[in-house]
Chains A and B, each alone.
Chain A
């Protein structure tokens, strides 16, 4: 494709910034998303109530929860893992009112997993601030067998569901929280292009 061309469904992410009119702030972060939280707290901290839900990636070398604990005095919940953060999000929604601003920081898989929980509570993803942190790994949906691989690092990968070699497209579904994976050698079986790690 020529330059200047972009797939419009591909989400773009921005650094987190406190929303000035919000009456409450809920920050949801996982793993390298900790960096996003730290950057957020380097800005002037708002007066309104803040809740931070965070877990480190237990397998990662880098840990953020100690630093975050020092910076965030009230409203911090450190959870054990990703699932812990997501269930804490669900648990917190009932007490949230209109006017609450949500912030999500993490890799794309986490961003959209958390967004889907918020969406079920009526929060439009357009109104959620999202910062992509750490890995560029993509969640990818196999259009043939419907299996989602949460972290794909390569332009072409093997579907864990059906074993086909899939090419990762830029076309993104917010409902599924994933990019589309399409069989790369359907026309000429076995003709697979060079596999490269383009989402490190």
Chain B
């Protein structure tokens, strides 16, 4: 997989828990062009282990002299965001993947409803640059907890003008999905990125209001959860690998020198999907890719975020 070597050019504290990072390419060249909604996977070396986290590109696709991402600090996670907040400074060198878009606007859409919760605003910032350039009809609905969490509010007002609507939870202001989705013209597409309850609520409301599923789009990246240790057995490469509790299955396989496929590392794209041959325990699915039926059937797993509660898990790789 092609990677890009970047240097951190700037770090800005946006709110008390959100920082924005600006990357430039180490060789001084412009970074690759990309489309609104794309993300990159950032590699971090944390205590000798490689962590890879996906982050949406939030800078304008029109300017690829640099890329920008925003990272929300998650204290009770495995440390990727804490590393970004505490260790990454201007001048830090990182590697990132080429941009991948799992959250593209539908170019046949007559109108676009963008719904963001908290740090979920980031993919929309690059999408809005594209929508503005294309002269598309859109609305942005951005909900956040309190005034001090209003990341990027002024930038959004400048970008979107009167197309943006803010909802401050502490002021009792919530997005009314029933109202929002019940009077949109034919050909409208809706997009949501934010906390899981918000995403679920919007998807459910759209379904109950008769929206076809291919007009509703969501992007959620999961972080690999901490769990119990188990052993994964690879049938084709004939390897037995112990997956420690604080590592994902994909990371453990990579550490053992297995060339496993991956793309988003957040359980969204399905690229790393493996066939489960057998297990003596239960699969713990954390992805947003497999259908409920597939999860129940238990013969597929996304090793980037999912793991197992078992002693041994046999997969076809």
Contacts and interface: CB of A to CB of B under 8 A. Distances in A.
Direct contact of A and B (CB under 8 A): yes
Interface of A: 19, 21-24, 93, 96-101, 118, 121-124, 126-127
Contact of B186 (A21, A22, A122, A126): A122
A101 B209 CA distance: 11
B316 to A, nearest CB: 28
Contacts of A22: 210
B207 A21 contact: yes
B181 interface: yes
A99 B188 contact: no
A121 B187 contact: yes
A124 B214 contact: yes
A93 B212 contact: no
B227 interface: no
Given A97-B183, A123-B186, 17 more contacts: A22-B210, A23-B209, A96-B185, A97-B185, A98-B211, A99-B181, A99-B182, A99-B209, A99-B210, A100-B186, A122-B109, A122-B110, A122-B185, A122-B186, A124-B108, A124-B215, A126-B212
Contacts of A98: 181, 184-186, 188, 209-211, 215
A98 B187 CA distance: 7
A121 B183 contact: no
A99 B211 contact: yes
What interface size band does chain B fall in? 10 to 19
Given A21-B207, A97-B186, A122 B212 contact: no
A96 to B, nearest CB: 5
Contact of A19 (B110, B182, B184, B210): B210
B187 A123 contact: yes
A100 B182 CA distance: 10
Contacts of A123: 186-187
Contacts of B207: 21
Interface string B97-118: 0000000000011100000000
Nearest to A25: B210
Contacts of B186: 93, 96-98, 100, 118, 121-123
A23 B182 contact: yes
A40 to B, nearest CB: 17
A174 to B, nearest CB: 13
A24 B108 CA distance: 23
Nearest to A93: B186
B133 interface: no
B108 A97 contact: no
Interface in B184-237: 184-188, 207-212, 214-215
A118 B110 CA distance: 12
Contacts of A121: 110, 186-187
A194 to B, nearest CB: 43
A122 B210 contact: no
B187 A122 contact: yes
Contacts of A23: 182, 209-210
Given A97-B184, A99-B182, A127 B108 contact: no
13 contacts: A21-B208, A21-B209, A21-B210, A22-B210, A97-B186, A98-B181, A98-B184, A99-B210, A100-B186, A121-B186, A122-B108, A122-B187, A127-B212
A123 B106 CA distance: 13
Given A23-B182, A121-B110, A122-B109, A101 B187 contact: no
A122 B110 CA distance: 6
Interface string B23-37: 000000000000000
Nearest to A126: B214
B292 to A, nearest CB: 18
A16 to B, nearest CB: 16
Nearest to A102: B186
Contacts of A96: 185-186
A31 to B, nearest CB: 26
A96 B187 CA distance: 10
A159 to B, nearest CB: 32
A122 B184 CA distance: 12
A163 B136 CA distance: 45
Given A23-B182, A121-B110, A100 B210 contact: yes
